[in-house]
Structure 1
Amino acid sequence: MDVRDRVAVVTGSAGGIGAALAEELLRRGARVALGDLPGPRLDATRDRLAGEYGDRVIAVPGDASSRDDLAALLGAAREAHGDVDLFFANAGVPGAPELGDDEHWQRALDVNVLAHVRAAQLVVPEWLERGEGYFVSTASAAGLLTQIGSATYSVSKHAAVAFAEWLAVTYGARGIKVSCLCPMGVDTDMLNLGRTSEDAVERTMAQAVTDAGDVLTPAAVAGIVLDAVAEERFLVLPHPQVHRMLQGKAADHDRWIAGMHRYAASLGLDD
């Protein structure tokens, strides 16, 4: 899909990948609605982008896991820009160390998975009537492989990939296109907070990501994502080694798990 003159909604867009996606969309000629939790980061991002792109960008504070807040975001986007053509389900939360507790699980599933489901429930019926639409899911390489040290992150991101696949299989022939972003290390607050955490397991979780490949800038990732949207390509892998790892996992699951044991040991996680 050519995003020029299209209307896009981006959740989790106060910073990181979301802000970079919004900026790249604007640079390519789209009109954008930013969604994120209320606060100075969202205001600052809106002001910075509006300074260059004017009224082509608006911001609506809210929780991406709330159906009511998502509906308000979509309504504001339609009022300001017109029918929504693309939805970027980008908001996410980090994983809790190891098994986590019920509260960690609920938050991870709400934001990393159910936020995508609720957004799709709101936009897909409209897109089916119009015969086109584009849903972009920000998952993670952890959704294809795993996240050493965090069950909540691994499972919720696997579910995000599975939901994106289901959307693509179910609606792809009816005009709705889907892309699923699965990066490893990206220079965001989420990764950097893990690197400097006082919790040893959280630091190891971050190290497992940074030691596995390059840490990319959000802007670089955003460019790769928008290129994939232009090509209407499902799987978006900014780190090419993820594809090789995925092939190895599919070829011999037991060998892959044994390799992950060795990698975890090299990081000191089994000490």
Structure 2
Amino acid sequence: MTLDVDGAVAVVTGAASGIGEALAQRLLERGATVVIGDLDASRLEQTAARLDRDHPGRVSHVAGDASDADHVAALAAAGGEVDAFFANAGVFTGFGLDATDDEWALSWDVNVRSHVLAARALVPGWIERAAAGGMGGCFVSTASAAGLLTQLGSPTYATTKHAAVGFAEWLAATYGDRGLQVVCACPMGVRTDMLSEGTTTTDADASLGMRSVVSAGEPVTALAVADAVLDAVEAGRFFALPHPEVGTMYARKAADTDHWISGMQRFRTSLGG
């Protein structure tokens, strides 16, 4: 089963800007109706207004925390019969071994637990719908190349993005033959506010992390990521890799992990880390 985007109802979190906004735009352009969510209520309202001007009547928005079960329920309710959930909200915080307990907790909540909450809310209904002969559903996880490789500088980001990939794999292995389509997006550098803020930071570990991202491959636009994601959805592929070289790196890591780690150590040293 692959999602037919045209006519589908999709929820996108973290959609006030960046990849989430781009996903919403591309979904609308391909004929979907979207519900967008974000913690930044003011910016979300502005984004919703812009999208609605171009696609009147097919955009709604609900501000809130993607890691709050009540907010996830509100997003789903606003969409009615939801066909796809794009778990896109994410945070990049906590650097080095000095990352605080609060930063670890926030990273787990937003980068991983929010995906679990969305799956709990929607997947059982999709499976029932598919068993009754209807269309199932599509769950899209915005993880990161950091979830396949690693993220220099930020243990919180590297660890939680690995967990996001792992949860997406578990969903696909458990429900992928019962009506659930799962897509996991793993981009490297993306030209978003998150990348811009990281390149101006004075924190040495945060700076290392962002310099590693922009050195490993040319950053792409958020719209390019959205295109890669929807191409994967329509093709029925699990991984969406806006940077195709990530797949090659991942294969090399699996083939000889010791050699790959040595290479990462050399890469870190070359960046002054």
User: What TM-score do the two structures reach when normalised by structure 2?
Assistant: 0.96
Q: Tell me what 1:25 maps to.
A: 27
Per-residue deviation, residues 36-69 of structure 1 (Å, max 9, x unmatched):
1143211110010001101100110010000011
1:121-153 CA-to-partner distances (Å, cap 9, x unmatched) read 000111011111000000000000000011100
Cα-to-partner distance string for 1:13-56 (whole Å, 9 max, x where unaligned): 00000000000000000000001114321111001000110110
CA distance in 1, matches of 2:181, 2:171: 8
> How far off is 1:200 after superposition?
2.2
Structure 2: 5+ residue runs without aligned partners?
131-135
Deviations 1:162-190 (A, max 9, x none): 00000000001101000000000000111
Determine which of 148, 153, 176 is the counterpart of 1:149: 153
Q: 2:84 pairs with 83, 86, 106, which one? A: 86
Identical counterparts, % of pairs? 56
Task: Name the SS for the 2:50 alignment partner.
Answer: helix
Alpha-carbon distance in 2 for matches of 1:257, 1:203: 20
In the alignment, what sits opposite 1:101? 100
Structure 2 CA distance, aligned partners of 1:57 and 1:73? 12
* Aligned counterpart for 1:198 among listed residues 199, 202, 209: 202
Task: Give the Cα separation in 2 of the matches to 1:247 and 1:70.
Answer: 35
Aligned 8 A contact 2:144 2:161 in 1: yes
Q: Does 1:110 align with 2:109?
A: yes
Range with bigger deviation, 35-44 or 137-146: 35-44
Alignment pair present for 1:123 and 2:122:
yes
Report which stretch shifted further, 22-31 or 188-197. Answer: 188-197
Corresponding residue for residue 49 of structure 2:
47
Residue 219 (structure 1) aligns with: 223
Q: Deviations over 1:66-116 (max 9, x none)?
A: 0011111111111xxxx1000000000003111211111100000000000
Shift of 1:193: 0.5
Partner of 2:73: 71
Q: Distance in 1 between matches of 2:4 and 2:14?
A: 22
Q: Which residue, out of 154, 168, 174, partners 1:170?
A: 174
The equivalent of 2:13 in structure 1 is 11
> Is the contact between residue 103 and residue 156 of structure 2 (CA under 8 Å) also seen in structure 1?
yes
Aligned residues: 265
Distance 1:214 1:186 in 2: 9
Q: Helix, strand or coil: the match of 1:87?
A: strand
Is the CA contact 1:95–1:151 (under 8 Å) kept in the aligned structure 2? no
1:240-259 alignment, distance < 5 Å: 240-259=244-263
Which segment drifts farther, 94-103 or 11-20? Answer: 94-103
Q: Give 3-state SS (helix, strand or coil) of 2:169's partner.
A: helix
Report what 2:133 is aligned to: none
Instruction: Output the CA distance in 1 between the equivalents of 2:196 and 2:205.
Output: 14
Could you list the structure 1 runs, at least 4 aligned residues long, displaced by more than 3 angstroms after superposition.
none
State how far apart, in whole Å, the 2-side matches of 1:219 and 1:54 are.
Answer: 20
Paired letter, 1:6? A
Whole-Å Cα distance in 2 between the matches of residues 127 and 70 of structure 1? 16
Give the alignment's Cα RMSD to 1 decimal: 0.8
CA distance in 2 between counterparts of 1:39 and 1:2 reads: 30
Name the amino acid aligned to 2:152.
I
